[in-house]
Amino acid sequence: MERQTHLKAKRDFIGQVLEIQTDFFARVSLVTKEEMVVDEYGLIHGGFTFGLADFAAMLAVNHPNVVLASANVQFIKPVKLGDILIAIGQVIEKKDSERLVHVQILVAEKTIFEGDFRCKILPKHPFV
């Protein structure tokens, strides 16, 4: 399916789209980079992990006016420089203009993050 949201998102920091099934599913990858590191051990800032998860949730909905309303997440394992993250977003509930998307992030086929993202589809862009 064609991407309809977050069209200017920079894949180097928020993820590369692998697959989209509108209003159902998305798969996104992110290769960690030196610019994401916060210490001498190669720890990656959690904001990049969360950003990838948010991006996967938005793409699973794949509407031009989708925004994040809330998130309930767990950081299960830290991420390090060189890790390749795969985020899978699955729409698990639809109610009017709201979507609940479950996102799981894997590194080497092991879950390192998961959470539920409540998304809203707005009638128009919030800044128009």
β partners of residue 127: none
Q: Following DSSP, what letter does each residue of 75-125 receive, concatenated?
A: E-S--BTT-EEEEEEEEEEEETTEEEEEEEEEETTEEEEEEEEEEEE-SS-
Q: Is 97 inside a domain boundary?
A: yes
Per-residue confidence band for 1, with pLDDT thresholds at 50, 70 and 90 = confident
pLDDT digits (tens, 9 = 90+) for 90-123: 999 999 999 999 999 999 999 999 999 999 999 9
Overall domain count for the chain: 1
Among residues 46, 108, 54, 109, which one has the least CA distance to residue 78?
A: 46
CATH number, domain of 97, equals 3.10.129.10
The rounded Cα 44 to chain-centroid distance in angstroms is: 16
Which one-letter DSSP state was computed for residue 35? G
Q: Is 26 inside a domain boundary?
A: yes
Q: Is 5 inside a domain boundary?
A: no
